[in-house]
Amino acid sequence: EAGVVQSPRYKIIEKKQPVAFWCNPISGHNTLYWYLQNLGQGPELLIRYENEEAVDDSQLPKDRFSAERLKGVDSTLKIQPAELGDSAVYLCASSQSGRETQYFGPGTRLLVL
Amino acid sequence: AQSVTQLDSQVPVFEEAPVELRCNYSSSVSVYLFWYVQYPNQGLQLLLKYLSGSTLVESINGFEAEFNKSQTSFHLRKPSVHISDTAEYFCAVIGGSQGNLIFGKGTKLSVKP
């Protein structure tokens, strides 16, 4: 069974540019999560989807971050415009439902110059 | 609100020595507890979990953790470590109705020959 797929694995952009990350969860997993992991820190939740509905986006900086999961399967996280402080690893995870074990993708490492 | 404290940011140890990575959590409700491992430039992999039942849980590669409700701890142990165990280990908790994972800051285990 394929795991959580993320692309790209690495991205380097200049500040003020837009950037997008893509995630395809494990087949059959209804819940999808986006996490931000800063250097030396544990992951922090940005947004959680139950199917296509964002049920918890309280930690998503909505002035520059947006996310969508239109058909309840894969998801895109966007930053526009990117700032230097956005340099981090963006992790996607999925689970069969809330409170179930979460499985993580390899992450996208973003560097903003 | 739930929180997770990993008391040691770095743990150096010699190969074949025992190791304990400490984790304490705070939650007023029943919890699910997890240990994830992150190898360099990779995503998080589930190592083991406690959902209910026996308080001692084991992984397939020799790690074990014990849920101690009175001490609100979930320490990770291995009686004899290998070089390949060098990685960062994250303790995490799900508590409450939201089902969101709350991570500690991680412990870097460095196994030396």
| pLDDT tens-place string over residues A4-60 | 999 999 999 999 999 999 999 999 999 999 999 998 889 999 999 999 999 999 899
Q: What is the pLDDT of residue B4?
A: 93
Torsional class of B101: left (φ above 0), alpha (ψ -120 to 50), beta (otherwise): beta
Q: What is the pLDDT of residue B31?
A: 82
Which chain A residue is nearest to residue B91, measuring alpha carbons?
Answer: A42
Percent of chain B with pLDDT over 90: 66
How far is B2 from A99, CA to CA, in rounded Å?
14
Which chain A residue is nearest to residue B108, measuring alpha carbons?
Answer: A40
**Which of chain A's residues have a Cβ under 8 Å away from the Cβ of B3?**
none
Residues 7-46 of A with CB under 8 A from B: 31, 33, 40-45
CB-nearest to B100 from A42, A48, A91 is A48
Q: How far is B35 from chain A (nearest CA, A)?
A: 11
Among A63-67, B15-19, B30-34, B82-86, whose mean pLDDT is lowest? B30-34
Dihedral angle computed from the Cα positions of residues B82, B72, A34 and A89, in that order, rounded to the nearest 10 degrees: -40
Q: Do A101 and B105 touch (CB under 8 A)?
A: no
Burial tier of B77 (Cβ tally within 10 Å: 0-12, 13-18, 19+)? middle
Give the residue-averaged pLDDT of A76-94.
Answer: 96
